[in-house]
Amino acid sequence: MLETLGYLTLSWLDPWLLMLTAAGTLAGIYVGAIPGLSVTMAVSILISFTFKWSVNDALALIAGVFVGGVYGGSRTAILLNIPGAPSAIATALDGYPMAKRGEAGEAVGLTTVMSVFGGFVGIAALALFAPLLADFALMFTSRDYLLLALIGILLVGTLSGESFAKGVFAGALGVLIGMVGLDPMTAEGRFTFDTITLMGGIPYVVAMIGFFGVAEAFVQLHRLDLPAVKQKIDRVIPRLADLRRYFRVALRASGIGTVIGALPGTGGDIAALLAYDDAKRATKNPQVPFGEGAREGLVAPEAANNAAVGGAFVPMLTLGIPGDAVTAVIIGALFIHGLKPGPLLLVETPHLFWFTVGNLALANVFLLIFGLTGIRIFTKIVECPKAVLIPLIIILSAVGSYAIQNNPIDIYWMLLFGVFGYFLKVYGFQVGPVILGVILGPMMDANYRRAMIGARNDPATFLWDFLSHPISCVLLIAFLALLISQTPLPRLARAALRRRRPPDREAG
């Protein structure tokens, strides 16, 4: 018990870790706020710089960036009507109208406090449920991990992007990128084309930097000009009465955020939209209508997306299955540091788990401090022209790709993934599933083969195992339900109906 407390407060008491968490949170706020910079991008680049550090240092910085970044998007959403991150899309709906009415400071203050509140709910859930889930997960077999990973990729594939087919394509592409190199079970080469370079595989951090950093930078070239909107900022510290008034909304939203965050594959952006929708339905008589600056519409998505951070760590640390794209990248970081996220992480390295919990809490404290201060400087920095920002991102990405193995070839990989990712993005694909595929692909492959070998290569036994074991059966049902909801059948039926009516050319 005392030991756990020690790990929990490690980053609070060690000045160096305290400083790193603070720096990470502050940097995260800016990364999240500047449109074109994303948390995923920042964390992927950071991994390559911090892999020589001790695990605690690296995790402290990354946790800070994660927490700060999820919040930071709300700042630009409120002040400029440009969500700095996908998780702030719902925030802009009511935040910007508030700013237009001259309540920008109040909006930022309320957002900050409620974000921190949501963050703490998520962390509490992480501390309470992760150990329980990890105990339970010890009963999971290879089959179950295979299904969980499939569910994760499927969820990301269905909830993001234009179509299910595009999500599946992106996920499968990621799996194949993860397969390149020597097969870990038989040491046979896969997709190596008899070259030595490819035998070691494609470093997944390079793929992440390419898809999230460089590709995004190329996409941002379409939108070089950021409209500069000046907002009057007055009172930032929110009123106590307001906090009390919106407490229930925030609590509900935090619950939604934690659960959505904990589902494999879904993260803060979806949590925020769902919580906004829920708040809209649950609030009978808002003071101001939703969409015109309702405070409920500001509180709900922000509490939810920060709660999703803690939630997303639950499957990541207990099952080794990322809760969203950022945690997929963080799993990559843990692998690099020689850790194996999974049910045994809590048994073998409990200090790491409690350290993460304490550290996330600390990052939220810093969020409160930085969130309520420095807003005037903030508006100046965010106006940094993209024409300067984009070349800098590219240099950071190049150094990051190089730093992993000190291999110049990796920078070419980065450019290749960047260009490919650019075209994928332009044609309506999401790159999130690709990264999930890269991380989960090798794990799915190994678990599938273990399960198949366990069934003595007999397909009938293999399938029967899925039905005869209760955990596998439940997961299988969840997987199939998800799959059926996405089959083209309902859509084809709708398309047939639509064909009878005159074609609607303007749709979409």
Partner 1 sequence: MSPRAQRRPGELAFAVALLAFSLWLFAEAYKISGFSGLSTPGVFPMLASGLMVASSLAILVKVLAMGPAGGGLRRFLADITPLRQAVMVALVFAYIAAMPYLGFLAASGLFLFASIQFLWRRSVVLTALVSLAGLAAIHVVFTLVFQVVLPKGTLLRGLI
Chain residues that interact with partner 1, rule: CB under 8 A: 49-50, 52, 162-163, 165-166, 168-169, 171-173, 175-176, 179, 183, 185-186, 188, 190-191, 214, 218, 221-222, 224, 385-388, 390-392, 394-396, 398-399, 402-403, 406, 408, 411-412, 415, 418-419, 422-423, 426-428, 437, 441, 444-445, 448-449, 452-453, 457, 459, 462, 488, 503-508
Buried-state track 50-86, b at ≥16 Cβ within 10 A, e below 16: bbeeebbbbbbbbbbbbbbbbbbbbbbbbbbbbbbbb
**Radius of gyration (Cα) for the chain, nearest Å?**
23
- Record the tokens describing residue 411, joined without a space: 């920078």
Nearer to partner 1, 279 or 424 (CB): 424
* Residue burial 472-500, b: 16+ Cβ < 10 Å; e: rest: beebbeebeeeeeebeeeeeeeeeeeeee
Angle between helices 432-454 and 325-336 in degrees, nearest 10: 60
Nearer to partner 1, 7 or 422 (CB): 422
Using DSSP's 3-state secondary structure scheme, residue 348 falls into: helix
| Residue 185 vs 381, nearer CB to partner 1 | 185
Other CB atoms within 10 A of residue 280 CB? 19
Distance, CA of 184 to CA of 189 (rounded, Å):
9
Structure tokens at 17: 């870790």
Q: Give me the least distance between CB of 166 and partner 1, in Å please.
A: 6
Minimum CB–partner distance for residue 202 and partner 1 (Å) = 14
Could you tell me the CA-to-CA distances from 343 to 145, 147, 323 in Å, in that order? 11, 16, 15
Considering the complex, what minimum distance in angstroms separates the CB of residue 411 from partner 1?
Answer: 5
Nearer to partner 1, 24 or 122 (CB): 24
| Three-state DSSP state, 189 | strand
Q: How far is the CB of 50 from partner 1 (least distance, A)?
A: 7
Q: Which of 173/339 has CB closer to partner 1?
A: 173
Give the phi and the psi of residue 190 in degrees, each rounded to 5. -125, 125
Residue closer to partner 1 by CB (options 200, 488) is 488
* 182 three-state secondary structure: strand
Task: Give, in degrees to the nearest 5, the angle at Cα 8 between 7 and 14.
Answer: 70
Which residues lie below 8 Å from residue 490, measured CB to CB, with a gap of 6+? none
Is the Cα dihedral 474, 479, 485, 488 positive or negative?
A: negative
Nearest distance from residue 150's CB to partner 1, in Å?
11
Pick the closer one to partner 1 by CB: 42 or 98.
42
**Shortest CB 458 distance to partner 1, Å:** 8
Shortest distance (Å) from residue 25 CB to partner 1? 16
Angle, vertex CA 259, rays to CA 299 and CA 32, nearest 5: 50
Q: How far is the CB of 250 from partner 1 (least distance, A)?
A: 30
Minimum CB distance to partner 1 smaller for 333 or for 345: 333
Q: Which is nearer to partner 1, 170 or 361 (CB)?
A: 170
Nearest to 331 by CA among 475, 497, 152: 152
In the bound complex, what is the minimum distance in angstroms from residue 255's beta carbon to partner 1? 28
- Residue with Cβ nearer partner 1 (168 or 229): 168
Smallest gap from Cβ 454 to partner 1, in A, equals 9
Q: Which is nearer to partner 1, 186 or 195 (CB)?
A: 186
What is the Cα–Cα distance from 247 to 255, expressed in whole angstroms?
A: 12
Measured from the CB atom, is 412 or 464 closer to partner 1? Answer: 412
Report, in Å, the least distance between residue 84 CB and partner 1. Answer: 20
Cα–Cα distance measured from residue 131 to residue 318, given in angstroms and rounded to the nearest whole number? 8
Alpha-carbon distance of 310 to 364, in angstroms, equals 11
- The alpha helices in 374-468, defined as continuous H runs, are 375-382, 386-405, 409-426, 432-454, 459-468
Minimum distance from residue 185 beta carbon to partner 1 (Å): 7
